[in-house]
């Protein structure tokens, strides 16, 4: 997966590609380690091709006399060319999204064997090696290659031993072929053949087995450590400043989930206080999310503390895209669709208001449009990690909101948040919703700034422009005015609740133009294979 910025939603591979449950059950290793094995296989294949070329062909380019002698015999150069071409083909295959992990790993084992035969052919196909003076004691490069492959590309010990046995057989098989093809020459005796060409490579297989056991045991230990309560971590989707997000499965139920691991040791900031205060805040936020029942708020299945002290949320895994990714990929939205999305956001925020909760980080990356049953463009509001309860007393919740700290995302932050005011209510979320509406309509931010501080100052003091001034597509005047009202500096001049904002959105002419049927058609034509996306991005 590509690297992630602090505010990006994490994208999973489409279902049926690498990292599936079948991959893990086939190899016994976690899916992310399997994908890492594919990357290592690619590196080894490219390394094999490079070293083979540099050792077998590059010197010939420098020595014309030797070049003529080598290329005069087909057996002197053809095996090397085939081996290099095979290695490049395997490297290219590892980039294919159509081939499953188990299949690629199987091809990798076949490559280990075939590449060993390529090395043996380059070393032993010369009949001049068959003489009484030739000493066969010692190891071919095949031994080095087999050990390197076994340790770098992990697999089960049984598979590793079978592949290693087949690979090291390349030396005695190649020499035996040369002996049978040249009966007039005096080859090694039976004892010389065994101790020079068989016994050393059996020792290589033993070493390969030990290496495979060690690497495999490490993978199994990682699997055992990835168990949180009733959930097992399957695949790491990404990481951020405070922790990681994983795809997980319940041990008993066929229900995928997204687990957000939060490690206090990685949070770094003094704004989170002592470990006890961090835990207090974590439990409080989890309880706040769990108290919400709006279908447009991401579902929290479970939360707890892992054995290593990490806190974790277990949330639903959704199919779709966050609004930031959607706009960046497909461009700005028509106004009716923006209204359709915002009214669902308001449904989530209205319930939060009823519980006296403020989200404080409404932004496109936290607004997720998905397929939910038979509904399309179904909105889920994500990441209530900055949620604040109205009426909190500083002495009752010490240091949960540190003095002079600013919480939120600068491009979508309310003026009162930008100024660090302690008293916030749901109207701060109304302002952020106005910023989101501006983004969805225009594909641009309300304010531009070179630094986060410059953005904060714009939100605190600069008057916004109407969305209609940034685009040529028509926007109803009532929507233009409503968004400007949401962006008012004074909270008293904004819609006073999410319910009021939803009502005023519904009153706009042609607000009902975007329907579920229209949304279904849009997803069918623009996102045929809906990405599986984790429900709760790491945003801090």
Q: Closest Cα to residue 415, out of 236, 87, 143, 424?
A: 424
Cα–Cα–Cα angle for 145, 151, 153, rounded to 5 degrees: 90
Could you tell me the sign of the dihedral formed by the alpha carbons of 262, 264, 266, 268, in that order? positive
Given the DSSP bridges, would you call strands 300-305 and 311-316 parallel, antiparallel or unpaired?
antiparallel
Q: Please give the Cα distance from 69 to 73 (Å, whole number).
A: 8
Query: Which residue in this structure is represented by tokens 């994908």?
Result: 35
H helix intervals, 292-334: 323-330
Alpha-carbon radius of gyration of the chain: 31
Q: Which two tokens stand for residue 231?
A: 């959930």
Residue 290 in tokens: 């769990």
Report yes or no: 345 and 436 within 8 Å, Cβ to Cβ.
Answer: yes
Active-site entry in 361, 377, 383, 536: 361
For residue 21 the two structure tokens come to 């449950």
Secondary structure (DSSP) of 202-231: HHHHHHHHHHHHHHHHHHHHHHHH-EETTE
Give the separation between CA 265 and CA 248, rounded to whole angstroms: 23
The tokens 């639903």 sit on which residue?
316
C-alpha span between 529 and 62 (Å, rounded): 52
Cα distance between residue 316 and residue 289, in whole Å: 13
Handedness of CA 365, 326, 381, 364 (dihedral sign): positive
- Spatial contact of 414 and 431, defined as CB atoms under 8 Å apart: yes
Spell out the alpha helix ranges (H) of 73-198. Answer: 74-93, 101-124, 141-152, 157-168, 170-181, 190-197
Helices (H) and strands (E) in the chain, counts: 21, 12
CA dist., res. 487 & res. 362, Å (int): 13
Active site residue 361: yes
Taking CA atoms, 249 is separated from 231, 245, 304, 316, 535, in Å, by: 5, 13, 16, 11, 14
Q: What is the DSSP letter of 257?
A: E
Residues with a catalytic annotation lie at: 361
């Amino acid at each position: 997966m590509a690297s992630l910025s602090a505010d990006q939603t994490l994208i999973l591979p489409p279902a049926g590609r690498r990292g599936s449950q079948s991959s893990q059950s086939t190899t016994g290793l976690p899916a992310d380690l399997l994908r890492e094995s594919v990357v290592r296989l690619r590196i080894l294949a490219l390394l094999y091709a490079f070293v083979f070329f540099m050792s077998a062909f590059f010197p010939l380019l420098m020595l014309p006399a030797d070049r003529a002698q080598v290329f005069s015999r087909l057996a002197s150069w053809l095996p090397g060319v085939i081996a290099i071409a095979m290695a490049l083909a395997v490297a290219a295959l590892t980039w294919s999204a159509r081939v499953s992990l188990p299949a690629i790993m199987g091809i990798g084992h076949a490559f280990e064997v075939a590449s060993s035969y390529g090395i043996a052919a380059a070393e032993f196909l010369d009949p001049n090696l068959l003489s009484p003076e030739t000493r066969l004691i010692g190891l071919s490069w095949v031994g080095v290659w087999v050990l390197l492959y076994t340790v770098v590309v992990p697999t089960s010990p049984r598979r590793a031993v079978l592949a290693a046995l087949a690979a090291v057989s390349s030396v005695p098989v190649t020499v035996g072929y040369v002996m049978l093809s040249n009966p007039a020459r005096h080859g090694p005796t039976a004892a010389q053949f065994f101790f020079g060409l068989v016994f050393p490579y059996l020792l290589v297989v033993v070493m390969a087995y030990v290496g495979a056991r060690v690497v495999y045991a490490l993978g199994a230990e990682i699997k055992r450590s990835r168990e949180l309560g009733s959930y097992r971590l399957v695949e790491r989707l990404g990481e951020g400043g405070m922790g990681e997000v994983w795809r997980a499965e319940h041990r008993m139920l066929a229900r995928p989930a997204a687990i957000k691991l939060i490690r206090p040791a990685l949070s770094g900031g003094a704004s989170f206080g002592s470990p006890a205060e961090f835990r207090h805040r974590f439990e409080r936020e989890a309880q706040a999310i769990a108290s919400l029942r709006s279908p447009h708020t991401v579902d929290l299945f479970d939360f707890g503390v892992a054995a290593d002290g990490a806190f974790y949320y277990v949330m639903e895994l959704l199919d779709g895209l966050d609004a930031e990714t959607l706009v960046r990929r497909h461009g700005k939205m028509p106004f009716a669709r923006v209204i359709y999305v915002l009214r669902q956001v308001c449904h989530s925020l209205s319930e939060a208001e009823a519980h006296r909760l403020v989200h404080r980080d409404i932004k496109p990356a936290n607004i997720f449009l998905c397929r939910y049953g038979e509904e399309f463009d179904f909105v889920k509001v994500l990441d209530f990690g900055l949620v604040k309860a109205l009426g909190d007393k500083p002495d009752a919740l010490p240091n949960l909101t540190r003095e002079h700290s600013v919480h939120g995302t600068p491009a979508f932050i309310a003026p009162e948040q930008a100024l660090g005011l302690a008293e916030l209510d749901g109207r701060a979320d109304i302002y952020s919703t106005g910023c989101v509406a501006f983004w969805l309509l225009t594909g641009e931010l309300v304010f531009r700034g070179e630094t986060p501080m410059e953005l904060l100052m714009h939100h605190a003091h600069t008057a916004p422009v109407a969305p209609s001034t940034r685009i040529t597509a028509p926007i109803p005047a009532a929507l233009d005015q409503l968004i400007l009202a949401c962006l008012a500096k004074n909270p008293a001049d904004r819609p006073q609740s999410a319910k009021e904002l939803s009502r005023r959105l519904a009153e706009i002419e042609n607000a009902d133009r975007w329907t579920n049927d229209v949304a279904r058609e849009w997803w069918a034509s623009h996102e045929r294979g809906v990405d599986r996306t984790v429900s709760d991005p790491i945003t801090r």
